[in-house]
């Protein structure tokens, strides 16, 4: 990356693939009922390698339990059941809880993996989350043969392959591309204050939020029990920009930088414009706040919120890049890999084939709200937001999400979330920044 330009797509994506610890966890739950609009199961004959007598099980860990993602996952399960009807699918999904993506669920998967009892596959973010969590620990099988047989080396974009490959091998199959730095806003709330466009920066937001407060309306949906790390990463990105964002994680820029103080002060001020009961809300509760008649102007969230709104048939919303980040794509990608020592290896490989297939991705992503990782998706299946996102993905500067396992070590991410959770209670910017400085030192960025 030059001193005057943002990181190129290929340079960024090569950096993204070098690793951090971020484990996805889940607990067993009965398989959810197939979505009503799941693709019809054709009367195709079972695949030749499906054993009629005892085809075994397919246990899948994920955190997909909310509207949109449940239906998308069920759609892929329906494809799998059509082709392998004798395999018992165990949908071991549990909503993320606690600080950080996956929260305390991380311990469950870690225990299973270390104990030699892995699920057939599990959801994990591409990049540092997968590599340092499980690949470096020698818990995953490389997928060279699968990529060759399914043509993934050609059908996934070359830039994305730079993330997938580590030590010359692919380790998981991406099912989508998500964007983190998105502002989901309600046109009706803009109309209420006589505005005709969403805030382009945080100063504009605070002006609008003051006008809304006069009407007894909140400006932003926030969580007091987790999840503010997602909002905060967009605030940090707006202050530092795409060029300096990765320098926060390679040791070039310290977390004691005055711009970090500025970012924390913005975040601290946002709480004054949140919904009244934000301190007791998290997860889907905050999503629901956005749909209330007395809900806020906007929420900073990934495009999975689009899938959630669609599942609720909510229509009073639209989108833009989060304030101050218009030309940057803060990205993450969900994927599935093949743990070593799984009980039903063939079933696991066949699941990965569904995840990487055109049929699977076109069944999953239109409902999930994300865009496909493949380059040959059927655009007629995707909505206005997703077509917009596909174009943005091709042209914008790419940086990896901190909150979702792409930008930094897991040890730092946990400390980051804890520091922000403390700030919700104390509103002490100086103490929060001091904690982040210590966390960065302990993470030894750049070493």
Nearest by Cα to 198 from 325, 302, 283: 325
Return the CATH number of the domain spanning residue range 12-178+333-400: 3.40.190.10
Give the start-to-end residue ranges of the domains of the chain: 12-178+333-400, 182-324+409-443
DSSP E strands: which ranges in 292-375?
Answer: 298-301, 318-321, 328-332, 334-337
In the beta sheet, which residues pair with residue 57?
88
What pLDDT is attached to residue 16?
Answer: 56
What pLDDT is attached to residue 283?
Answer: 72
Q: What is the pTM of this model?
A: 0.84
Determine contact, residues 106/97, Cβ cutoff 8 Å.
no
Residue 314 CA from chain centroid, whole number? 22
Are the folds of 12-178+333-400 and 182-324+409-443 the same?
yes
What pLDDT is attached to residue 386?
Answer: 97
What pLDDT is attached to residue 106?
Answer: 66
**Cα angle 129-235-180, degrees, rounded to a multiple of 5:** 45
Q: What is the DSSP string of 89-153?
A: EEEEE---BSSSTTBTHHHHHHHHHHTT---SEEEEETTHHHIIIIITTT-B---HHHHHHHTHH
Return the CATH number of the domain spanning residue range 182-324+409-443: 3.40.190.10
Residue 331 CA from chain centroid, whole number? 8
Between CA 337 and CA 13 the distance in angstroms is 19
> In 10 A of CB 324, how many CB atoms?
22
Nearest by Cα to 283 from 270, 301, 266, 267: 301
Taking only Cα atoms into account, the Rg of the chain, rounded to an integer number of angstroms, comes to: 21
Predicted confidence pLDDT, tens digits, the chain (447 residues): 333 334 455 545 544 554 333 333 233 333 333 333 433 333 333 444 444 346 899 999 998 988 899 999 999 999 999 999 999 999 998 765 544 455 555 678 888 999 999 999 999 999 888 888 899 999 999 999 999 999 999 999 888 898 899 999 999 999 999 999 999 999 999 999 999 999 999 999 999 999 999 999 999 999 988 769 999 999 999 999 999 999 999 999 999 999 999 999 999 999 999 999 999 988 778 999 999 999 999 999 999 999 999 999 999 999 999 999 999 999 999 999 999 999 999 999 999 999 999 999 999 999 999 999 999 999 999 999 999 999 999 899 998 899 998 888 888 998 999 999 999 999 999 999 999 999 999 999 988
Residue 389 has phi, psi (to 5 degrees) of: -65, -40
Determine contact, residues 103/395, Cβ cutoff 8 Å.
no
What pLDDT is attached to residue 225?
Answer: 80
How far lies 158's CA from each of 14, 149, 152, 197, 215, in Å? 11, 17, 10, 36, 50
């Amino acid at each position: 990356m030059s001193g005057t330009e943002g990181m190129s797509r290929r340079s960024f994506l090569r950096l993204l693939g070098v690793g951090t610890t971020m484990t996805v966890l889940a607990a067993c739950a009965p398989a959810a009922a197939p979505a009503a609009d799941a693709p019809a199961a054709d009367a195709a004959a079972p695949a030749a390698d499906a054993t009629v007598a005892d085809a075994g099980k397919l246990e899948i860990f994920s955190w997909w339990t909310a509207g949109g993602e449940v239906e998308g996952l069920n759609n892929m399960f329906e494809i799998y059941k059509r082709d392998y009807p004798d395999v018992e699918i165990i949908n071991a999904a549990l909503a993320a809880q606690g600080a950080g993506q996956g929260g305390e669920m991380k311990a469950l998967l870690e225990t299973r993996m270390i104990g030699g009892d892995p699920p057939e596959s599990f959801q994990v973010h591409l990049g540092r989350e997968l590599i340092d969590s499980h690949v470096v620990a020698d818990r995953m099988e490389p997928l060279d043969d699968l990529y060759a047989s399914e043509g993934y080396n050609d059908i996934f974009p070359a830039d994305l392959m730079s993330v997938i490959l580590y030590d010359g091998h692919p380790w998981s199959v991406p099912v989508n591309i998500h964007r983190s730095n998105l502002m989901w806003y309600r046109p009706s709330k803009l109309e209420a204050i006589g505005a005709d466009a969403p805030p382009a920066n945080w100063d504009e937001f605070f002006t609008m939020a003051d006008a809304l407060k006069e009407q007894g309306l909140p400006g932003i949906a926030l969580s007091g029990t987790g999840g503010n790390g997602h909002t905060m990463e967009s605030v940090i990105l707006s202050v530092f920009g795409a060029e300096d964002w990765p320098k926060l994680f390679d040791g070039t820029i310290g977390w004691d930088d005055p711009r970090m103080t500025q970012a924390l002060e913005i975040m601290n001020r946002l709480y004054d414009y949140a919904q009244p009961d934000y301190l007791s809300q998290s997860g889907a509760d905050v999503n629901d706040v956005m749909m209330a008649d007395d809900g806020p102007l906007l929420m900073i969230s990934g495009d999975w919120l689009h899938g959630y709104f669609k599942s609720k048939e909510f229509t009073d919303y639209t989108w833009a890049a989060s304030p101050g980040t218009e030309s940057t794509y803060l990205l993450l990608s969900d994927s599935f890999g093949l743990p070593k020592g799984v009980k039903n290896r063939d079933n696991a490989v066949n699941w990965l084939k569904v995840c990487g297939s055109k049929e699977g991705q076109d069944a999953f992503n239109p409902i999930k709200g994300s865009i496909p990782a493949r380059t040959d998706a059927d655009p007629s299946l995707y909505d206005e937001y997703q077509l917009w996102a596909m174009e943005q993905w091709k042209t914008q500067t790419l940086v990896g999400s901190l909150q979702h396992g792409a930008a930094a070590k897991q040890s730092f991410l946990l400390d980051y979330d804890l520091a922000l959770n403390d700030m919700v209670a104390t509103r002490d910017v100086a103490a929060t920044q001091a904690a982040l400085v210590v966390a960065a030192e302990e993470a030894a960025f750049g070493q």
